Amino acid sequence: MTGNNSGFKQNVTGSCASIDGGERPSGSATSKVSKRSLDSGYDGNELDGDDDTKSNVNEYANMITENSDCAIVEEIEKNFKPFEFDFCLNGTPAPRNLSAKDKARLDEQRILENLRNEGLIATSKFEAKSGLAFEVVEATTLPRRAIPARLAKLDKRKKKKKTKEEIANKLAKAEQRRKEAELEKLEKINSVSTKSDVVNIQQDQVKQQQELLEHTIQKVDQVAENRELKLQAIKDKLKARQEHAAKVRLRKKLHIPTTEELDEFEKKNLSDQLLLKSSCEISAESQAPPTDNDLAHDPPVHSDNEEESVPPLNLATLSSNEFPVE
HSE on the CB side for 48, CA within 13 Å?
Answer: 3
Which residues is 171 bridged to in the sheet? none
Residues 121/112, Cβ–Cβ less than 8 Å: yes
Q: Is 316 a residue whose pLDDT tops 60?
A: no
Q: Is the pLDDT of residue 323 over 60?
A: no
- Does this model's pTM top 0.75? My answer is no
The model's pLDDT over 97-139, given as tens digits with 9 standing for 90+, comes to 778 788 888 888 888 888 888 877 766 555 556 766 666 666 6
pLDDT for residue 169: 92
Over residues 262-287, mean pLDDT: 75
Average pLDDT of the chain is 70
* pLDDT for residue 176 is more than 90: yes
Written as one letter, the residue type at 255 is H
Residues 238-256 have a mean pLDDT of 84
> What integer pLDDT is reported at residue 241 of this predicted model?
92
The residue ranking higher by pLDDT, 100 or 312, is: 100
Statement: residue 5 has pLDDT above 70: no
- Residue 317 pLDDT: 46
pLDDT at residue 61, as a whole number: 62
What span, in angstroms and rounded, lies between the C-alpha atoms of 265 and 320? 13
Q: Do residues 63 and 15 touch, judged by C-beta distance below 8 A?
A: no
Closest C-alpha among 261, 267, 269, 265 to residue 325: 261
Tens-digit pLDDT profile for residues 25-78: 454 545 555 555 555 555 555 445 555 555 555 566 667 777 788 888 888 888
Query: Domain-by-domain residue ranges, the chain?
Result: 2-78
229 or 20, greater pLDDT: 229
